[in-house]
């Protein structure tokens, strides 16, 4: 039987409703899990139900985390947050960790893990780092792709045949101060932006800054990475 994986909903500020990209669900299914889209209900009862019923959680990408949720030095550089997501995901992450549930973060998910554990964020990569790497995809241009370098002595390195891999990029924020309990496992090759972390204690925790759900059919290592997460949820 496939383990049920809770997938956090996206949020549309204009419409005031939750939604989800289908490719997140396809990724979990193809990795061997049964995806379950979580309603944006942040009540204690709802979170308790989610943790009791789900074997693990995928924290998806999306808007900036609200500036009052971390030690933000440049709030003027942050974009509109998704407050219903913050209200749910931060306590859900804490509850999942307490219950020993595996968690995997994508893009915003990586940033949320770092914030939840006490770390900080680079509020805007172009303004604060002056990086030449285009980390933020701006339609209708082609999706931004760049190289990341993976450390050799980490779980992430076991999914890929090379130390450097090509990933996509859809973000303007990134980890700044790394939280206690996280270990950096990959960085952007050209500018050193943190691209992946793993947990150093407790239950399974892995997160990446890129979007494997958009490229896993072309890059086999991306699916292997999620299969490893789903296996941890069994």
Confidence (pLDDT) at 137: 66
* More reliable by pLDDT, 136 or 33: 33
Confidence (pLDDT) at 220: 87
Confidence (pLDDT) at 130: 81
- Does the CA dihedral 25-145-228-59 come out positive or negative? negative
Whole-angstrom Cα distance, residue 19 to residue 123? 25
Please report, rounded to a whole number, the percentage of residues in the chain having pLDDT higher than 70.
97
Read off the pLDDT band of 10 (50, 70, 90). very high
> Domain range holding 51?
4-233
SS3 percent helix, strand, coil of the chain, rounded to 5, is 35, 25, 40
Rounded to two decimals, what is the model's pTM?
Answer: 0.96
Secondary structure letter of residue 158 according to DSSP: G
Whole-angstrom Cα distance, residue 101 to residue 112? 16
Confidence (pLDDT) at 46: 98
Using a 10 angstrom Cβ sphere, with 0-12 exposed, 13-18 middle and 19 or more buried, the burial of residue 164 is exposed
Least Cα distance to 60 among 31, 89, 34 occurs for 89
Confidence (pLDDT) at 142: 64
Average pLDDT over residues 97-126: 97
Read off the pLDDT band of 144 (50, 70, 90). confident
103 CB neighbour count, 10 Å cutoff: 26
Q: Domain total for the chain?
A: 1
DSSP 165-228: EEEEE--S-EE-SPPTTEEEEEEETTT--EEEEEESSSS-EEEESS-GGGTTTT-HHHHHHHHH
- Does the CA dihedral 185-177-138-226 come out positive or negative? positive
* Residue-wise pLDDT tens digits, 71-81: 999 999 999 99
Confidence (pLDDT) at 141: 59
Question: What angle, rounded to 10 degrees, do the helices at 108-116 and 83-99 form?
Answer: 60
Whole-angstrom Cα distance, residue 122 to residue 101? 28
Distances (CA, A) of 1 to 33, 72, 192: 9, 43, 41
Q: Report the CATH number that the domain containing residue 179 is assigned in CATH.
A: 3.40.50.880
Please determine, for residue 50, whether its predicted confidence score (pLDDT) is greater than 80: yes
């Amino acid at each position: 039987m496939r383990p049920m994986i809770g997938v956090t909903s996206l949020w549309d500020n204009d419409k005031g409703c939750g939604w989800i990209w289908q490719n997140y669900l396809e990724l979990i299914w193809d990795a061997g899990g049964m995806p379950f889209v979580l309603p944006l209900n942040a009540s204690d009862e709802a979170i308790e139900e989610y943790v009791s019923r789900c074997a693990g959680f995928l924290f998806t990408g999306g808007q900036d985390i609200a500036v009052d949720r971390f030690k933000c030095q440049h709030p003027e550089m942050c974009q509109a947050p998704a407050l219903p997501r913050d209200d749910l995901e931060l306590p859900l992450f804490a509850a999942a960790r307490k219950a020993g549930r595996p968690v995997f973060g994508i893009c915003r998910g990586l940033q949320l893990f770092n914030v939840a554990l006490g770390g900080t964020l680079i509020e805007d990569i172009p303004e604060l780092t002056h990086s030449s790497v285009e980390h933020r995809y701006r339609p209708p241009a082609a999706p931004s792709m760049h190289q990341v370098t993976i450390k050799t002595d980490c779980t992430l390195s076991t999914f890929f045949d090379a130390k450097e891999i090509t990933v996509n990029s859809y973000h303007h924020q990134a980890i700044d101060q790394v939280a206690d309990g996280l270990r950096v496992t990959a960085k952007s090759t050209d500018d050193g932006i943190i691209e992946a972390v793993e947990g150093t204690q407790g239950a399974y925790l892995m997160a990446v800054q890129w979007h494997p759900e958009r490229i896993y059919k072309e890059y086999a290592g991306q699916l292997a990475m999620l299969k490893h997460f789903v296996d941890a949820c069994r």
